[in-house]
Amino acid sequence: MISLQNVAKTFLTKDGTPVPAVKGVSLTVAKGEFVILTGRSGSGKTTLLNLAAGLTRPTAGEVHIGDANLWTLSDRDQSQLRNRTVGFIFQFPSLLPSLSVIENVLLPLSFRSNGTSGAAQRARELLATVGLAEKMGAYPRQLSAGQQQRVVIARSLINRPEVLLADEPTSNLDEQTEREIMGMLREIHASTAVTILLVTHTSQLIPYGTRALEMMDGTIRAEALPV
CA 166 to chain centre: 3
Give the CATH number, domain containing residue 88.
3.40.50.300
| C-alpha to C-alpha distance for 22 and 109, rounded to whole angstroms | 32
Report if residue 58 sits inside a domain.
Answer: yes
Beta carbons within 8 Å of 116's beta carbon, 6+ residues apart: 109
pLDDT at 173: 87
Residues linked to residue 27 through DSSP beta bridges, in sequence order:
4
Mean pLDDT confidence for 16-40: 94
- Three-state DSSP state, 162: coil
| C-alpha to C-alpha distance for 113 and 79, rounded to whole angstroms | 13
Query: What is the H or E stretch that residue 77 is in?
Result: helix 75-85
- The backbone torsions φ and ψ at residue 156, rounded to the nearest 5 degrees and listed phi first, read -65, -20
Report if residue 97 sits inside a domain.
Answer: no
pLDDT, one tens digit per residue, over 137-155 is: 999 999 999 999 999 999 9
Count of structural domains, the chain: 1
Mean pLDDT confidence for 124-143: 94
Report if residue 136 sits inside a domain.
Answer: no
pLDDT, one tens digit per residue, over 33-63 is: 999 999 998 999 999 999 999 999 999 999 9
More confident residue, 117 or 132: 132
Domain coverage including residue 20: 2-92+161-223
Number of helices followed by number of strands (H, E) in the chain: 6, 10
Report if residue 219 sits inside a domain.
Answer: yes
pLDDT at 103: 95
Report if residue 105 sits inside a domain.
Answer: no
Report if residue 201 sits inside a domain.
Answer: yes
Evaluate whether 36 touches 200 at the Cβ level (below 8 Å).
yes
Whether 114 has a pLDDT exceeding 70, the answer reads no
| C-alpha to C-alpha distance for 54 and 189, rounded to whole angstroms | 22
pLDDT at 167: 94
pLDDT at 26: 95
Report if residue 29 sits inside a domain.
Answer: yes
DSSP secondary structure letters along 174-223: -HHHHHHHHHHHHHHHHHH--EEEEEES-GGGGGGSSEEEEEETTEEEEE
Whether 227 has a pLDDT exceeding 90, the answer reads no
DSSP secondary structure letter of residue 150: H
Per-residue pLDDT band at 226 (split at 50, 70, 90): low
Nearest to 200 by CA among 215, 180, 188: 215
| C-alpha to C-alpha distance for 39 and 215, rounded to whole angstroms | 5
Bridging pattern class, strands 34-38 and 195-200: parallel
Report if residue 34 sits inside a domain.
Answer: yes
Mean pLDDT confidence for 104-130: 83
